[in-house]
Amino acid sequence: MMKIKTITTTPFDDQRPGTSGLRKKVKVFQQSRYLENFVQSIFNALDDFQGKTLVMGGDGRYYNREALQLILKIAAANGIGRVMVGCDALLSTPAVSCIIRKYHAYGGIILSASHNPGGPDADFGIKYNTGNGGPAAEKITEAIYQHSLMISEYHTLETADINLSSIGEQRVGDMVVEVINPVIDYADLMEELFDFNAMRALLSSKNFSMRFDAMNAVTGPYAVEILEQRLQAADGTVLRAEPLTDFGGAHPDPNLVHARELVSMMSGTNAPNFGAASDGDGDRNMILGCDIYVSPSDSLAILAANATLVPGYARGLTGVARSMPTSQAVDRVADELGIPCYETPTGWKYFGNLLDAGRITLCGEESFGTGSDHVREKDGLWAVLFWLNILAVRKQSVADIVHDHWRKYGRDVYTRHDYEGVPTEGANALMEQLRVRTGELSGQHFDGYTIERCDDFSYTDPIDQSVSSQQGIRILFTSGARIIYRLSGTGTEGATLRVYIEQPENDQVKLSHDAQTLLADLITLSASISEIEKHTGRKAPDVIT
């Protein structure tokens, strides 16, 4: 007989969810009652979930399976009716969103620390998504945090571990656990949106080849099913396809630094025509052509400009949105299309209301996140398939498509400099001294650059009027250039300072020049205005994208 047990506990004070859920070192999560407290706090913060369905899965990182076992027992003890869980505890973040929506589930729990490394000494995370398939709004994450500060007991079911390795239904107390194929629903949705026939024809042509680097993370099985099975791309198109608990020791972050092998494969005479990669939980993407890297901000603008070539978007876009630090490239496309472009704070949750209200169709972030109203998360493989569909229709190279776009709309030369693991006090001091100087900086001149305005970004959601303030310091120049400073909300060690630097460029000659060179003066200015070295002790960033 399975018994519901109520266990006494005391609060932890560090369970405030960040940019995307609660993210900590595995060792923190492994403390007795730590995960239990947080999961019970989720249920304490929610209403009317008795007998309802939740979707659960994770990116396969270390502690994924153990955590899921524990969560299932707490869910059963709290009266959840059914849990749909990916086989072997796997589900990519966009797949969770897709499944919540398709089966009208009450919500879902995602176990992931996204692009952060995995393993016993690395990172773990948990995130709650609501019935629209998207990350819970700040109101809910804050309520969960408040409950975590007052928690005194949690409920769990005394039962053996649940078999998560075979597809089908089983009973756990009064709750049904349905172990599902993690890939099928998502792959079916992709088949509805994109022209698989045209893409199959492109992939079978002798003049075209692609590589997708799954980085030993969760998208491996999805990419094999969609690219190699349904689209019949050559075997071996998907690299590092097997999900590993430590991602093979690498950072599962698709950028120029962490996807180095793919990047080097993409140049030279035998380079494939198209290269792409995705992150730990499958919501990020990087797009490469032969000898060209497409910045995520440009990628969003190019997808928006070409959307009607893709069946799922043939009717056009209602609007677009980008996070504040994302370059202004998509703004010009929106102008041209005569549709609204919204500027939101960093984090996917801010797109949710706009998507739900039908105000936007596409949205994206500079941090390798692109998505649409098909789910309520950013979606790595979706972006790759969108590009592949455009390539199949336009029959041009990635580089030609990018250069055509720049010729028509101009180019937003863009870079992001990250200073990782810097002392928290220094990082806070840097932000604070900029914050107090916003007024005084306006109107100042620095060789060739005039600051038009400087502020700390604040956003009022157009749907529910909720206000999010202190979302990053913006220095806006009269030329349209911008320097933005913000502290990461996803790191687990010290603070991470992100500096975003952007300058519009219409000079045709400069269009193909390297971004770091074109932005050299602004980069120097960004360091001196904010006194980066004084506050962080760093002379140079750790990661440049």
Annotated active-site positions, please?
Answer: 114
- Given candidates 36, 195, 228, 281, which one binds Zn ion under the rule CB under 5 A? 281
Residues 70-109, one symbol each (x = binds ligand G1P by CB under 6 A, - = not), give ----------------------------------------
Residues 291-330, one symbol each (x = binds ligand G1P by CB under 6 A, - = not), give --------------------------------x-------
Q: Does 219 bind ligand G1P (CB under 6 A)?
A: no
Q: Does 365 bind Zn ion (CB under 5 A)?
A: no
Q: Does 279 bind Zn ion (CB under 5 A)?
A: yes
Residues 338-367, one symbol each (x = binds ligand G1P by CB under 6 A, - = not), give --------xxx----------------x-x
Give helix 138-150 / helix 34-45 axis angle, nearest 10°: 120
Rounded to 5 degrees, φ, ψ at 224 are -65, -45
Closest residue to Zn ion using C-beta atoms: 114
Q: What region, left, alpha or beta, does residue 290 occupy, with left being phi > 0 and alpha being psi -120 to 50 degrees? A: beta
Q: Does 331 bind ligand G1P (CB under 6 A)?
A: no
Q: Does 489 bind ligand G1P (CB under 6 A)?
A: yes
What is the rounded CA–CA span in Å between residue 132 and residue 124?
A: 24
Torsion angle (degrees, nearest 10) of CA 217, 223, 228, 232: -170
Structure tokens, 497: 């300072």
Min separation Cβ 489 and ligand G1P, Å: 4
Q: Which is nearer to ligand G1P, 424 or 444 (CB)?
A: 424
The listed partner (ligand G1P, Zn ion, none) that binds 346, CB under 5 to 8 Å by sort, is: ligand G1P
Helices (H), 194-259: 196-204, 219-223
Q: Which is nearer to Zn ion, 112 or 273 (CB)?
A: 112
Min separation Cβ 439 and Zn ion, Å: 37
Buried b (16+ CB within 10 A) or exposed e, 257-273: ebbeebbebbeeeebbb
Q: How would DSSP label each residue in 73-94? A: HHHHHTT--EEEEEEEEE--HH
- Kindly indicate which of the ranges 145-153, 280-288, 342-350, 427-435 contains the residues binding Zn ion, using the contact rule CB under 5 A: 280-288
Cα–Cα separations (whole angstroms), residue 545 to 82, 285, 320, 348, 415: 42, 13, 23, 20, 6
Of 16-55, binders to ligand G1P (CB under 6 A) are: 19-20
What is the rounded CA–CA span in Å between residue 39 and residue 396?
A: 49
Structure tokens, 304: 């928006």
What is the Cα gyration radius of the chain?
23
Residues 6+ apart with CB under 8 A from 286: 254, 255, 256, 259, 262, 276, 277, 278, 293, 296, 368
Question: Site size for ligand G1P, by CB under 6 A?
Answer: 14
Q: Does 461 bind Zn ion (CB under 5 A)?
A: no
Min separation Cβ 114 and Zn ion, Å: 3
Q: Does 283 bind Zn ion (CB under 5 A)?
A: yes
Report strand pairing: 320-323 vs 238-239.
unpaired
Q: Which is nearer to ligand G1P, 211 or 284 (CB)?
A: 284
The listed partner (ligand G1P, Zn ion, none) that binds 118, CB under 5 to 8 Å by sort, is: none
Closest residue to ligand G1P using C-beta atoms: 488
Q: Which is nearer to Zn ion, 114 or 389 (CB)?
A: 114
Q: Which residues bind ligand G1P (CB under 6 A)?
A: 19-20, 114, 323, 346-348, 365, 367, 369, 488-490, 498
Q: Which residues bind Zn ion (CB under 5 A)?
A: 114, 279, 281, 283-284
